[in-house]
């Protein structure tokens, strides 16, 4: 029996690994906090979903957390299309800026925890 990874194109797996390896400081910081504070949510990082990679995804909670860098200010239409696709796949998407993660990590974590309990999931 092949696992889920066996169903992905080799390029997708390579890209996921590269994105994890090259994560910026805000993503690394949030990953550390999620693993320590919300382990029951079982977040994964750089999860391929269709043509996109979600920064952080809890499949059980159907929640995606995106950390947006400065370049996202110029990609509003692209981000809207991405969010629409992920929402159509049954996920709720919440976004934080790099600055929010770096300067207000406790508030970011509280927002994520709140989103997890809003739907009555882990």
What's the CATH code of the domain at 32?
3.40.960.10
Answer whether 105's CB lies under 8 Å from 33's CB.
yes
Total domain count, the chain = 1
Residues 24/72, Cβ–Cβ less than 8 Å: no
The DSSP call for residue 14 is H
Q: Tell me, what DSSP letter sits at residue 82?
A: H
- Rounded Cα–Cα distance for residues 103 and 105 (Å): 6
Print the domain residue range for 9: 4-118
115 vs 19, higher pLDDT: 115
Task: Say yes or no to pLDDT of 66 above 60.
Answer: yes
* Rounded Cα distance, 103 and 28, in Å: 14
Provide the mean pLDDT of the chain.
84
How would residue 39 be classed by pLDDT, with cut points 50, 70 and 90? very high
* Report for 1-5, 31-35, 44-48, 117-121: range of highest mean pLDDT: 31-35
- Residue 31 pLDDT > 90: yes
DSSP single-letter state for residue 9: -
Q: At what angle do helices 25-37 and 105-118 cross, to 10 degrees?
A: 50
Predicted confidence band of residue 11 (pLDDT cuts 50, 70, 90): confident
Q: What is the mean pLDDT of residues 66-95?
A: 84
Average pLDDT over residues 6-18: 67
CA atoms within 13 A on the CB side of 111: 16
């Amino acid at each position: 029996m092949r696992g889920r990874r066996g169903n992905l194109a080799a390029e997708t797996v390579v890209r996921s690994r590269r994105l994890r390896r090259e994560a910026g400081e805000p993503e690394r910081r949030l990953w550390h906090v999620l693993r320590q504070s919300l382990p029951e949510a079982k977040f994964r990082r750089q999860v391929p979903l269709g043509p996109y990679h979600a920064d952080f995804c809890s499949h059980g909670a159907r929640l995606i957390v995106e950390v947006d860098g400065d370049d996202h200010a110029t990609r509003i239409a692209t981000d809207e299309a991405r969010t629409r696709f992920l929402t159509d796949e049954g996920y709720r998407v919440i976004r934080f800026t790099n600055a929010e993660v770096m300067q207000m990590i406790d508030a970011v974590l509280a927002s994520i925890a709140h989103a997890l309990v809003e739907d009555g999931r882990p």
